[in-house]
Structures are given as C-alpha cells and as structure tokens.
Amino acid sequence: MHPIGGQGTKNLPPFQLKSLNYNLIFNGMKNVFTLLLTLIVSCSFAQDIHFSQYWAAPVAMNPAYTGKFNGLFRATFNYRNQWFTIPTMNSGSPYQTFQASVDGNVLPTSLGNNRLGVGAMFFNDKAGNGALQTNTGMVSIAYHQSVSQYGRSHLSFGIQAGVVNKRINFQDLIFETQLDKYGWNPSLPNGEQYGGKSILYPDVTIGAAFTSRPKDRFAFNFGYSLHHVASPRESFIGDQNNRLARRHVVQGGCEITAGYQDQWTISPVFLFMMQSNAQMYNLGVGVNYQTTNENIGIYGGAFYRVKDAAVLNLGVDVYNARIGISYDMNHSDLRGASKAQGAVELAIVYIFKKQNDTYIQYPSYCPKF
C-alpha cells in the first residue's frame, strides 16, 4: 500500500510508521476538505468561470462585444490560478483556468459605420487539482448598428454557441471509505455509484450592448448577456433533472479623459452577475496614463467584489499589446482556508491594425484599450 505522498512504509521502523500514519490521515482529511470545498463552490456561484480582469476576456463576458474594438483582429489570453495556498493531493492548485479567444471585423469598409464581428473562444478549467476538468469551445457573431452620426454610438447584438465537455477522474478523489489506519488506500472501493466519467452538451449565450462616445473626452458602455440560454442538463450520475442554471451578466462603465495632452483616463466600472440564488457585485475604478511615447502606456486599478475579495490590477500597453496582472485578496468565509490569498491572474490582449487605416473610436471597458 502507498499512502499519500507516494512513498511506501514497509521499511520504516514501527515508531516512525505510527507517527507517519497520523500525519498521513491528517493530510488525507485536508484533501477531503479540499474536495468538499471544490464541490461546495462548484455548486454555488462558481458553477461558471469568471475572471477578475473580465475586460480582457470580452467575448467570454458578452458575445455582443465580438469585433467591438479599434482594429482588424484581436487575440486574448487569460490565465487564473485560484486558492493556491490550499493543499491538494498532488501539491497542485485547487483551481486553474485558461482562456483564449480571437475575433475580428468582417467587411470593415463595406457596412458604412456599422460593423459585423465574428470570433471563437476556448477555455479549460481544472478544479480539485485536475480531478474535474471543463473544456469549452464556442463561436460567436455580433452585429453593431450605428445609431448616431459618424458612428459615435452603436447598438450591438450577439450570439454565441458551442459545446462543453466535462470530465471527472475518480482516481484523483479521496473518499471516506478509502481511509484506513495507515491513511489513504486507493485499492479500497469508494462506495460511490456514478453514471460516467465524461459528459458533453451544447450551450448558447446571447447578449446586447450599447456603446457611445458622445464627446472626444467622454465615453460610456453598457451590456447585458444571458448564458446557458437552454439550461443544459449537467450530471455525472444520469440525473435528467439536474440543469445548469442560467447566468445573467450586467456590465457597464465610462471613460473620462483629462490632464495635459489627455494623458490620463479614469474609468469607473461595475459588474453584476446572478446565477440561481447566488449573486456577485463588482465595483472599481481603473486609471490609464499615456506616456510621452504614444506607443507606451501604464494602467492600474482597484476593484471590490462584495463579500468576496479586493482586487489590485497593474499593466502596461506596448504598441498594440496590453499585458496585465491582478491579485485577489480574499476576505470571504473561506479566508481561513485560503489564508486571505485568492488568485493570481495574467491577461494579454493583442490587436492587429493596418498602418494608415482609420477606425471608429469605440469606447472600451476598463481599463482603456
């Protein structure tokens, strides 16, 4: 038998074996706690993946923002490592999330001040140190109708559709029936009945948004999206009544440009999400500083998820790329387990623009991009 830690015990003296076994059982219980924590959070609001730097994953937030940027093509990359201080069976992280997307403008010069955007998104989420994995692939399309002269205001509608695959590895889970006096014994039966290790289902998201720049130094945006429109069935035990709850997302903010040569941009923003009985409120402000080199800028922000975490964000703009990092400081009921350390997140956005081309100056989310 090999307990947690991967080393056998048969060559250890009896007194060392006894001392080690108590530690193994304790470590096993910590991993059981990690599993329970994963399941509890997964059954609440964290059914869906969300990023602290949500503005750097616009297609994932609202399909109406597909193709809504100043350029031809946009690529995004997001990585989130959450609750890394909580111990897991293989010394990994309880939650790791990766997201990548690409979107662009179709026929940018053929629709006047209107725009048609298309895009694709993929993300992978690992929970419980990889025991539960979610892979999602989606394609989206959005139409941006100009509702003002010179294309300063747009009303956008978008739809996103794709498939979701979830897989669970029961070998990476610890059950009560597998704990003996020596610790965790994977050769013991777990005593659980389950229908399968993988599920696959279609998913649809719809969204709408209004963006406007009525003045050169002021812009605002507002968006709404509905995720899991059909409430797809989601169960590893064949429960046909277990459906994924719809998620409502409301987001908005404004940009105020000030300072000598318009070097400063202040962007207050808000984000509200509701899924089943869980709600999340996110308020904050971002500040952008444009250096004397027009190709280099610096930005930062402070955000607050009510009853959950405070988020600090720093980043840099270099030519057509934006690189940002954020850190979550947890203060919810999980503060004791997480040691007040919530998540580290990296976000990269790159926009391809043709030289000498002019683009409609869309208002952005926060921070400015």
pLDDT at 185 (0 to 100): 77
Parse the chain into domains and list their residue ranges: 14-352
- 243-290 residue pLDDT tens: 899 999 999 999 999 988 788 999 999 999 999 888 999 999 999 998
Q: What is the distance between the alpha carbons of residues 155 and 168, in angstroms, rounded to a whole number?
A: 41
Secondary structure E strands in 148-230? 153-168, 179-180, 183-184, 198-215, 218-227
Q: Is residue 1 scored above 50 in pLDDT?
A: no
What are the C-alpha distances in Å from 313 to residues 52, 58, 215, 287, 347? 9, 17, 27, 10, 10
Q: Is residue 302 scored above 70 in pLDDT?
A: yes
Q: Is residue 101 scored above 50 in pLDDT?
A: yes
The residue-averaged pLDDT of 110-124 equals 90
pLDDT-based confidence at residue 87 (cuts at 50, 70, 90): low
Contact 129, 172 (CB under 8 A): yes
Contact 142, 157 (CB under 8 A): yes
pLDDT at 19 (0 to 100): 36
CA 251 to chain centre: 15
pLDDT at 7 (0 to 100): 34
Least confident of 28-32, 173-177, 309-313: 28-32
- 323-356 residue pLDDT tens: 999 999 887 666 555 555 678 999 999 999 875 5
What are the C-alpha distances in Å from 308 to residues 20, 82, 235? 37, 13, 28
Beta-bridge partner residues of 159: 141, 206
Rounded to the nearest integer, the mean pLDDT of the chain is: 80
**Highest CATH level, class, for 14-352:** mainly beta
pTM over 0.85: no
The residue-averaged pLDDT of 234-239 equals 77
Identity of the highest mean pLDDT range in 83-87, 188-192, 292-296, 319-323: 319-323
